[in-house]
Amino acid sequence: MKILVCITNVPDTTAKISFTDNNTKLNKAGVQYIIGPYDDYALARAVELKEKLGGSITVLNVGEAESDPQIRKALAIGADDAVRVNAEPTDSYFTATQIAAIAKEGGYDLILMGRESIDFNSGVVHGLVGEMLGIPSFSPVMKLDIEGTTAKFAREIEGGKEFLEAPLPLVLGCQEPIAEWKIPNMRGIMTARTKPLKVVEPIAVGDMATLGQYTLPAPKGACKMIPADQAETLISLLKTEAKVL
Amino acid sequence: MVLIFVELDNGSIKKTSLEAVAYGAAVAKATGTTATALAIGTADAAELAKTGAYGATKILHANAAELANENAMAYASVLAAAVKNENAEVVILPKSGLCDAMGARAAAKLGASIVSGVTELPDVSNGFKVTRSIYTGKAFATVDVKGAVKILGIKKNAIEAVEGAGSATVEAFMPALNNGDFVAKVTGQEKASGELSLTEADIIVSGGRGMKGPDNWQPLLDLASALGAATGCSKPVSDLDWRPHHEHIGQTGIKVAPNLYIACGISGAIQHLAGVNSSKVIVAINKDPEAPFFKAADYGIVGDVFDILPRLTKAVKDAK
Ligand SMILES: Cc1cc2nc3c(=O)[nH]c(=O)nc-3n(C[C@H](O)[C@H](O)[C@H](O)COP(=O)(O)OP(=O)(O)OC[C@H]3O[C@@H](n4cnc5c(N)ncnc54)[C@H](O)[C@@H]3O)c2cc1C
Ligand SMILES: Cc1cc2nc3c(=O)[nH]c(=O)nc-3n(C[C@H](O)[C@H](O)[C@H](O)COP(=O)(O)OP(=O)(O)OC[C@H]3O[C@@H](n4cnc5c(N)ncnc54)[C@H](O)[C@@H]3O)c2cc1C
């Protein structure tokens, strides 16, 4: 079982977002980076599957050198080796093209991703990669088991879930409760230092979409507090003032 | 030509899809072309023709037994065929799990640009620039879309959809289907029936750990039913199995954009707020005056949910 897990290097979910350079760059001061939470679920399930079925896990990131601490963390959690495509991934199509190229070379049985990145929240890279490789893709997957060369999994649909079976290889975008997030242990951290991390240059992709300027949402006005003993007035305010009822 | 994919729910076009049609029609108008819709699955002609009231001149209808399940791969093949058939330059999809997946696969088939999470009409005065939501609603970015075919996933409320008078001509459209799109076998489905969908809902009543347990949800459900609202919850609530997972809202759950979001006994952690910050009006009910939710809310009540909720339900019923 050869598994490829694609991880993003993203600002922590509690990070305060602001911009510099005339709103063209993220202000990274004080921002802590993490493995995308959904990618973390994908990695955790990959580690469990490897424990059960044997095989290997490769982690892949399209990003610059600042991703390396997160890649090392993924190695500490249980991946065997890593590849970083050395480029600023500013567009889904560009990123997917890089991932598809690495995936093709490696011949993986299973390509696990997160349901979406938490910086751009597109939820499209798995579909793009699946189509580029000519194999099926599904997302968001909340349960996954492998039996021989068949994947048995559950996908969240509106108002519930759908159970599916499909032959490997597959691309899956993962979300909870597919597995519990894993914390690296001391031994993992020690061995991660010497596990291979290969850095490769990107392949050229035509310019599909270029980032311009960032903006922040308009600040929220003050909250109107309604005394508990007059709670009922909320309903009339929602009708007449906010006009949402 | 602008092509708009509309999602069907039991034969009816979803509201967010009608918004997508209005958005597509506005883009068509700005670029001096026409808007065509595409629906996949079973629906009657009168329902499909409704897209005309939102600006589509015609609607392509792909219907076959094989397309009854929402199969993103097969749907992507139909979408890509329609793009080629109609020479579409811009493709609009409402933002949803199905649409992200089919849009992505269609983009790879067509070598198209894909931008998801678009929040406003594009600026077509010089190129094709769109504004999209990033960092889970904490910021926006403008993106210059350059592909010959441009696929946009638009967020709820990206445009106000006003119903007009027109009617679209319905045309059957059935490209050959690929066997490769049907390798997965659907072995079962669990779906709450008759439930309002969170992504479509105009009003959501949502509960957190302050509801204290799965058996205490009735007052919240009562308010939701009086308001015609969908129900949601915080992550710990679904982690604890107090409520089903598909109700989980936030950074790692569903992102919603209702007109009204009522948070009951939810503290307002940044990861929860990330899923609700596109709501028009937010109400927070919490017994702790320091709860962070009040900083993100428009209206707040400091009080016990078990006291406040039944009174609000009564006030809604009395006002009817
Ligand atoms: C200026 C700028 C600089 C950036 N620099 C970096 C950076 O240095 N490193 C970085 O990781 N991201 C970086 N990003 C984010 C990056 O652009 C996005 O992660 C990428 O474009 C895909 O976003 P998406 O929303 O389309 O992904 P989605 O479609 O939402 O992602 C789905 C899944 O695809 C996989 N995936 C997505 N992106 C990557 C990736 N880059 N590498 C591996 N797997 C991926 C993940 O498993 C993810 O859960 C940067 C973004 C900007 C704007
Ligand atoms: C990577 C990551 C991703 C996450 N993603 C999500 C996500 O998607 N969605 C999400 O919700 N969380 C998410 N979380 C968890 C988040 O940080 C919070 O822990 C969570 O939102 C808290 O849920 P809560 O408000 O229901 O519970 P609590 O924080 O325990 O808050 C309960 C609130 O109820 C109030 N209360 C108690 N009793 C009453 C009463 N009788 N009447 C009125 N008020 C009462 C309390 O004052 C308190 O404010 C994530 C966390 C991480 C680290």
Of B286, B295, B306, B311, which is best to mutate to test ligand 2, by the most ligand atoms within 8 angstroms of its C-beta? B286
Does the pLDDT at position B229 exceed 90?
Answer: yes
Which residues have CB under 8 Å from A98's CB, separation 6+?
A: A62, A85, A87, A89, A202, A203, A205
User: Would the CB of B300 count as within 6 Å of ligand 2?
Assistant: no
pLDDT of residue B71: 93
Beta bridge partners of B130: B143
**Predicted confidence (pLDDT) per residue in A111-170, tens digit:** 999 999 999 999 999 999 999 999 999 999 999 999 999 999 999 988 889 999 999 999
Within 10 Å of residue A62's Cβ, how many Cβ atoms? 25
Domain boundaries in chain A?
2-220
**Predicted confidence (pLDDT) per residue in B278-315, tens digit:** 899 999 999 999 999 999 999 999 999 999 999 999 99
**Predicted confidence (pLDDT) per residue in B157-174, tens digit:** 889 888 998 899 999 999
Look at the block and give the residue holding tokens 């679904």: B238
Burial label, A158 (beta-carbon count in 10 A; 0-12, 13-18, 19+): buried
The rounded distance, in Å, linking the Cα atoms of A113 and B83 is 28
Residues B241-247 have a mean pLDDT of 94
pLDDT of residue B129: 97
Q: How far is CA A183 from the centre of its chain?
A: 17
The answer to whether residue B100 neighbours chain A at the CB level (below 8 Å) is yes
pLDDT of residue B196: 79
Q: Has the ipTM of the complex gone over 0.85?
A: yes
**Predicted confidence (pLDDT) per residue in A15-62, tens digit:** 889 999 999 999 999 999 999 999 999 999 999 999 999 999 999 999
Bond into A140 cis (ω within 30)? yes
Ligand 1 pocket residues where CB is under 6 Å: A 6-9, 36, 38-39, 60-64, 67, 88-92, 95, 99, 113-114, 116-117, 119-126, 173, 211
Residues B108-113 have a mean pLDDT of 97
The rounded distance, in Å, linking the Cα atoms of A180 and A44 is 7
B144: phi > 0 → left, psi -120 to 50 → alpha, else beta; which?
A: beta
Does the pLDDT at position B197 exceed 90?
Answer: no
**Predicted confidence (pLDDT) per residue in A195-232, tens digit:** 999 999 999 998 889 999 999 988 888 999 999 999 99
pLDDT of residue A160: 85
Does the pLDDT at position B194 exceed 80?
Answer: no
pLDDT of residue B193: 72
Please provide the average confidence, as pLDDT, over all residues in chain B.
Answer: 95
**Predicted confidence (pLDDT) per residue in B62-102, tens digit:** 999 999 888 999 999 999 999 999 999 999 999 988 999 99
- Cβ atoms A80, A198 nearer than 8 A: no
Please provide the average confidence, as pLDDT, over all residues in chain A.
Answer: 95
Q: Mapping DSSP to helix (H, G, I), strand (E, B) and coil, where does residue A117 land?
A: coil
Bond into B292 cis (ω within 30)? no
- Cβ atoms B274, B136 nearer than 8 A: yes
The fold of A2-220 is: Rossmann fold (3.40.50)
DSSP assignment of A197-243, as one string? EEEEPPPP----EEEEEEE-PPPPPPPEEE-GGGTTHHHHHHHHTS-
pLDDT of residue A199: 98
pLDDT of residue A137: 97
Going along chain B from its start, the domains and CATH numbers come out as: 2-182 (3.40.50.620), 203-319 (3.40.50.1220)
The rounded distance, in Å, linking the Cα atoms of A95 and A221 is 38
What sign results for the dihedral spanned by CA atoms A14, A67, B141, B149?
negative
The answer to whether residue B271 neighbours chain A at the CB level (below 8 Å) is yes
Closest-lying ligand 1 atom to the alpha carbon of residue A38: 49
Counted residue by residue, chain A has a size of 245
Q: Would you call A127 and B311 a contact, using CB atoms and an 8 Å cutoff?
A: no
